[in-house]
Structures are given as structure tokens and as C-alpha cells.
């Protein structure tokens, strides 16, 4: 797929020197392992959690674990709540191919969002494959959303967000809420979302060399691990295949050089056909889900600024 001229490139430009180094580093330290057929997802899970244990979260934000029946995660609450975000919640669904990742691995970014936007964040710790394949993460996301409603949070005061698998899960959550005739949130922010389990976008082939983290085969194996025999065309597994009409405004951030680029661009086509409000920001030569490297990358800071603007706009 060619990026249409009507789709705006993000004005930041780039990539910065730090971003270039991060891409080089990820190709050597992460991608080189992920693309191997012998790579075990349990290895990545353990390595990511071990690495996350040494990370600090944003100053001025309190992180409190939550473990209730059907809901596990972490509240991340800034000292200062923005007036426009009073009584609002940012529900975050982490990425990691549905096989690894947690609130801890994404805490630097999500607490950065909490502080910058002045909003309470609930980072969900959903069940992971292969122990808990599809549709377990979707069920957990719906349960967490219902839990927030039971806490007295109004749907129009919720922004849903996620990266990579968590971005696809965010879309699956919206589709499931619509199917169940539950009230929809105010909007959603997707970071390099994984929306197509059939692995059929052109970028899965075209960007295999430029992508900092994956190749087509790694995405295929991740899909098989998550689906565990379920159909790849099932809409709650591949939201690209779903009926996207009637959804709230959606903002997407994606890099032009990543394997999952077309999972966003094809979603844009589907959303436009469904007459749903959507905007897409295409960043130049950034690693997959670069905001997770906040505060190391200047592009991560700029992206969080953009996310903050969208959050405040939808909650006004």
C-alpha cells in the first residue's frame, strides 16, 4: 500500500539522532531474537519484566496496584488533575503481542501521560497467551470497562488507548461494547495498532528490513500464538474485519517504516467508509511504538503532547 498524499505526515519530521540509535539498538538486541523461529514468548516475557523492574515512573505520579475479581491492573494518579480531566479516566491496554508486557513494562510512558495530561490512568494487566489465548484479553478489557462504569465513571469521561496488540485490543473493546449495546467511551488513541491477524498488509512485506522490531514471520507466529486455532478473520481478533460504524473519534500514531504500518492505514480506509471520525499521524522512520521509550526519545515527548491535546479535546 502506498501512503496517500491526503494523509498528513506528522510535522515533527525526524528521526532524531536518539531515535536512529534506538532503531539500530533494537534491531541488534530485540529483533535479532524475535525473528528466530526458536524464540519462546516466555523468554521475552521474563526479559521484559526483569528490565521493567529497574525502571522509574514519572515523578509526581502515584502508582497503586489493583487486584479485584476479574480486574487486575494499576492506578496511576498524578498530583495535579487538569480541570478538563476531572472525573475522567484514561484506560490503557499495553502491547506485547498478547504474549508479554504489563503495566510495569509501560509505566514510564503511561505515568508520563498521566502527568502531562493531568488525568488518572488505569493500566490494565490482562491475561496473556498462550496460557490465555483469544478471546481472554478482550473479555478482560470489557470487564475492566464495566468495572470503571461500576465505580461511577461516566462513559463520556473515558478515553481508551493502547499500543500494538493493545491498540488492536482497544479496537476490539470498542466493537465488543457496541455489540453488547454498552455506552461507548469519549474516544480512543491507538499507537501502531495490530489490527489484522491475517498478516495481509503490504507493509508486512515492504517494511521487513526497515522495521526496528519485527518481520512478517514474527507477526505471523504471534498471531498463531494468540488465536490458538480461532479464525484470523474474527472481528474481535482482527478489528480491521469488523463493522466500524458508530464508533467514537479515534486518533492513530504510526511510523512509516514499521511492519504494522498498513494495519493503521487500512483501518483508516475502513473507518472513512464507515463515516467515523478519525485522524492519523504518520511519523518518519520511528521504531514501533516509539512513545514507550519516553522520556528518552524527543519523538516520544512530542507524541505524548499530541495525545494530551486529543484527550483534552474529547473531554471538553
pLDDT digits (tens, 9 = 90+) for 250-308: 999 999 999 999 999 999 888 766 777 888 999 999 999 999 999 999 999 999 999 99
Q: What is the pLDDT of residues 45-88, one digit of tens each?
A: 998 898 888 677 889 999 999 998 889 999 999 999 999 999 99
Catalytic residue list contains 139? no
pTM, entire model: 0.95
Residues 96, 105: contact at Cβ < 8 Å?
yes
Residues 26, 258: contact at Cβ < 8 Å?
no
- Catalytic residue among 57, 204, 253, 258, which? 258
Residue 179 half-sphere exposure toward CB, CA atoms < 13 A: 14
HEC-encoded secondary structure of 92-108: EECCCCCCCCCCCCCHH
Distance CA 166, CA 79 (A): 26
pLDDT over 50 (residue 2)? no
Q: What is the pLDDT of residues 139-183, one digit of tens each?
A: 999 999 999 999 999 999 999 999 999 999 999 999 999 999 999
Instruction: Please name the helix (run of DSSP H) or strand (run of DSSP E) that holds residue 50, with its range, or none.
Output: helix 41-52
Catalytic residue list contains 164? yes
Residue 156: phi, psi to the nearest 5?
A: -75, 0
What pLDDT does 6 receive? 36
Mean pLDDT, the chain, rounded, equals 93
Residues 110, 307: contact at Cβ < 8 Å?
no
> Could you tell me the three cell numbers for 210?
526497515
First-to-last alpha carbon distance for the chain, in angstroms, is: 36
pLDDT over 80 (residue 3)? no
Alpha helices in 128-274 (DSSP H): 136-150, 165-179, 203-206, 216-227, 261-273
Residues 40, 100: contact at Cβ < 8 Å?
no
Quick one: pLDDT band at residue 90, thresholds 50, 70, 90? very high
Quick one: pLDDT band at residue 8, thresholds 50, 70, 90? low
DSSP 91: E
- Catalytic residue among 57, 94, 281, 288, which? 288
Find residue 158's DSSP bridge partners.
89
> Could you tell me the three cell numbers for 15?
528521526
CB atoms inside a 10 Å sphere around CB 54? 6
Quick one: pLDDT band at residue 9, thresholds 50, 70, 90? low
pLDDT over 60 (residue 29)? yes
- Sorted by where each starts, the structural domains of the chain and their CATH numbers stand as 17-315 (3.40.50.1820)
pLDDT over 70 (residue 4)? no
Residues 142, 176: contact at Cβ < 8 Å?
yes
- Catalytic residue among 164, 203, 257, 264, which? 164
Percent of the chain with pLDDT over 90: 84
Q: How far is CA 148 from the centre of its chain?
A: 19
pLDDT over 50 (residue 1)? no
What pLDDT does 238 receive? 98
What pLDDT does 42 receive? 86
Catalytic residue list contains 258? yes
Amino acid at each position: 500500500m502506498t501512503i496517500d498524499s491526503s494523509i498528513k505526515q506528522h510535522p515533527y519530521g525526524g528521526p532524531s539522532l536518539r531515535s536512529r540509535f534506538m532503531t539500530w539498538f533494537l534491531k541488534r538486541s530485540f529483533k535479532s531474537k524475535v525473528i528466530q523461529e526458536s524464540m519462546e514468548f516466555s523468554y521475552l516475557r521474563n526479559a521484559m519484566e526483569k528490565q521493567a523492574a529497574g525502571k522509574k515512573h514519572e515523578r509526581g505520579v502515584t502508582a497503586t496496584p489493583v487486584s479485584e475479581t476479574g480486574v487486575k491492573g494499576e492506578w496511576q494518579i498524578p498530583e495535579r488533575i487538569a480541570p478538563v480531566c476531572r472525573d475522567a479516566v484514561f484506560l490503557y491496554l499495553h502491547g506485547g503481542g498478547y504474549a508479554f508486557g504489563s503495566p510495569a513494562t509501560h509505566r514510564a510512558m503511561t505515568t508520563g501521560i498521566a502527568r502531562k495530561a493531568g488525568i488518572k490512568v488505569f493500566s490494565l494487566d490482562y491475561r496473556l497467551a498462550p496460557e490465555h489465548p483469544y478471546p481472554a484479553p478482550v473479555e478482560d478489557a470489557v470487564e475492566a470497562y464495566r468495572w470503571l462504569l461500576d465505580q461511577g465513571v461516566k462513559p463520556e469521561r473515558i478515553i481508551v488507548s493502547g499500543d500494538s496488540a493493545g491498540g488492536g485490543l482497544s479496537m476490539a473493546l470498542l466493537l465488543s461494547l457496541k455489540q453488547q449495546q454498552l455506552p461507548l467511551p469519549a474516544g480512543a488513541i491507538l499507537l501502531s495498532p495490530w489490527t489484522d491477524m491475517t498478516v495481509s498488509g503490504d507493509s508486512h512485506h515492504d517494511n521487513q528490513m526497515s522495521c526496528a522490531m519485527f518481520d512478517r514471520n514474527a507477526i505471523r507466529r504471534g498471531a498463531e500464538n494468540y488465536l490458538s486455532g480461532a479464525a484470523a478473520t474474527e472481528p474481535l481478533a482482527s478489528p480491521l474485519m469488523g463493522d466500524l460504524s458508530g464508533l467514537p473519534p479515534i486518533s492513530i500514531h504510526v511510523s512509516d517504516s514499521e511492519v504494522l504500518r498498513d494495519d493503521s492505514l487500512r483501518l483508516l480506509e475502513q473507518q472513512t467508509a464507515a463515516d467515523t471520525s478519525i485522524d492519523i499521524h504518520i511519523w518518519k522512520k520511528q521504531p514501533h511504538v516509539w512513545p514507550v521509550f519516553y522520556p528518552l526519545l524527543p519523538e516520544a515527548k512530542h507524541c505524548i503532547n499530541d495525545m494530551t491535546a486529543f484527550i483534552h479535546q474529547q473531554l471538553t
